[in-house]
Amino acid sequence: MEITHREFGHTRRGEAVTCWRLGDGEAFAEFLDYGCTLRRLCVPDRTGRLVDVVLGYDTTAGYEDGDGYLGATPGRFSNRIGGASFSLNGKTCLLAANDGANHLHGGLRGFDKYVWQAEEADGGVRFTRVSPDGEEGYPGTLTASVLVRWSLSGGLELTYGAVSDQDTVVNLTNHAYFNLCGGGDVLSHRLRVNADFFTENDAHCLPTGRILPVDGTPMDFRQAKPIGRDIDSDAVCVRQAGGYDINLVLSGSAPAAELYAPESGIRLTLTTDQPGLQLYTANTLTGRTGKGGVPFGRRSGVCLETQAFPDAIHHPNFPSCVLRAGERYARSARFVFTHD
Ligand code: BGC
């Protein structure tokens, strides 16, 4: 598998941004070291045409100014932490509040807004970022890494690692917005998710702590259905978010999810060892211009964020998101693309 890299641009702080490409003319993935960001993912459709199946921008400024975490690796804790604070070992940690009174995707300057170190390693590219003790309010110096590997048959494999010198919380994911047609909205994409339950949200998109069956709700993706079928339902969990913005509790059987676009014939098959999948249908993405001048906006992509449950630190009935000092955090996700 070919790995190449080229200069992509500079941040406003003057840092060089590099674009890493894995693959060849048949199919490839591109990552920026800025935010450890998946910028392009080009796979063939049923006619052999290469389709870029993720949303993104042409310039570094697009990513610096953008608010939607397009393709980025948020951190230290992806998703929300209620009240922007938590206590650990009897100590209260005050985090940056950047989503009303709550903390979202790592704070005011999360991992998505830093240039990561990058090197070729283990048949792929390893991106590493050292987050200092106290950054955005989190305890402990945390070294986070994402090993990215790619092949058309094996798919895009993301292996997340982290280690901290103090007890802390961590939740790493990728925030790609998939559009398996390369444009338009994703309402006709058919989604299947191996999840029998979801975590109920309040009006601020924070879990109430209740884990409810998907049965009879718009969150029921146990059989494949078009994303648009129930997206405008009156059920409170979709109504209050203007679409899907919900953590589905993965049952553990593979694959975790399948996404299929009847128009292009492209199918994404997702496997992961994470307990949760945040399904987000770009409800708040305002209209903007993406790669190659292609416009995109609300509902033009779908995020399948493999992760710990949101706000897990405040809910003892959720799987723990605590990383103890010296322990190794290891999680993975694999996105395989085929077509009919
Ligand atoms: C969150 C949304 C948020 C979006 C962009 C998603 O992961 O669940 O609530 O609006 O990211 O920030």
Give the pLDDT confidence of 156-180 residue by residue, as tens digits: 999 999 999 999 999 999 999 999 9
CA distances 273 to 104, 174, 198, Å, are: 23, 14, 17
Q: Using CA atoms, how far apart are residues 191 and 193, in angstroms rounded to an integer?
A: 7
Q: Which of 104, 171, 302 to mutate to test the pocket of ligand 1 (most atoms within 8 A of CB)?
A: 104
| pLDDT value of residue 2 | 95
Tokens representing residue 224 in the block: 């494949």
Residue 83, classed as helix, strand or coil, is helix
CA distances 41 to 50, 76, 114, 220, 336, Å, are: 9, 24, 21, 28, 11
Each of the 340 residues of the chain gets a pLDDT tens digit; together they read: 799 999 999 999 999 999 999 999 889 999 999 999 999 999 999 999 999 999 999 999 999 998 899 999 999 999 999 999 999 999 999 999 999 999 999 999 999 999 999 999 999 999 999 999 999 999 999 999 999 999 999 999 999 999 999 999 999 999 999 999 999 999 999 999 999 999 999 999 999 999 999 999 999 999 999 999 999 999 999 999 999 999 999 999 999 999 999 999 999 999 999 999 999 999 999 899 999 999 999 999 999 999 999 999 999 999 999 999 999 999 999 999 999 9
Q: Using CA atoms, how far apart are residues 301 and 186, in angstroms rounded to an integer?
A: 6
Query: Which residue, 85, 84, 112, is CA-closest to 98?
Result: 84
| Cβ-proximal residues to 214 (8 Å cutoff; 6+ apart), any chain | 195, 196, 197, 198, 220, 221, 222, 248
Q: Give me ligand 1 centre to Cα 13, in Å.
A: 26
| pLDDT value of residue 205 | 97
Domain 2-339 of CATH type 3.90.199.10: no
Ligand 1 atom 4: residue of nearest CA = 68
What ranges make up the beta strands (E) of 79-233?
A: 80-81, 85-88, 91-94, 103-104, 117-121, 124-131, 142-151, 155-164, 168-169, 177-178, 190-193, 195-201, 207-213, 225-226
Q: Give me ligand 1 centre to Cα 6, in Å.
A: 30
- Domain boundaries defined on the chain: 2-339
For the CA atoms of 30, 33, 37, 43, what is the dihedral angle to 10 degrees?
Answer: 10
Q: Give me ligand 1 centre to Cα 276, in Å.
A: 15
Q: Using CA atoms, how far apart are residues 50 and 256, in angstroms rounded to an integer?
A: 25
Q: Which helix (H) or strand (E) holds 60?
A: helix 60-65
Q: Which of 173, 245, 279 to mutate to test the pocket of ligand 1 (most atoms within 8 A of CB)?
A: 245
| pLDDT value of residue 17 | 98
Residue 312, classed as helix, strand or coil, is helix
